[in-house]
Amino acid sequence: MLAEYCPDLLVLAIPLRNKFRGITVREVALFRGSQGWSEFSPFLEYDDQEAATWMRSALEAANTPWPELFHEKIAINATLPIVEPRLVAAILERFPGSSTVKIKVEDFEKGAKVVEEVLTINAEMRIRLDVNGGWSSKEAITNLLAYHRRFGEVFEYVEQPCKTLPELAEVKSQTAIPIAVDESIRKHLNTDFQGFSRYADVAILKWQPLGGFEAAHKIADEIGLPVVISSALETGIGISHGLALAASFQELRTACGLGTVALLECDISSPPVQLSHGYLDVKRREPINFERYLATSERREHWERRIVRTLELIEGKSA
Neighbours of 284 (CB within 10 A): 17
**Residue tagged active-site, from 102, 163, 172, 206:** 206
CA–CA distance, 193 with 205 (Å, rounded to integer): 13
What number of residues does the chain have? 319
CA–CA distance, 14 with 155 (Å, rounded to integer): 32
Query: Helix, strand, or coil here: 26?
Result: strand
206 in active site: yes
73 in active site: no
**Residue tagged active-site, from 102, 104, 163, 172:** 104
CA–CA distance, 240 with 244 (Å, rounded to integer): 6
The Cα diameter of the chain in Å comes to 58
DSSP track, 244-293: HHHHT-S---S-BB--GGGGBS---EES----BTTEEE----EE-S-GGG
Residues carrying an active site annotation: 104, 206
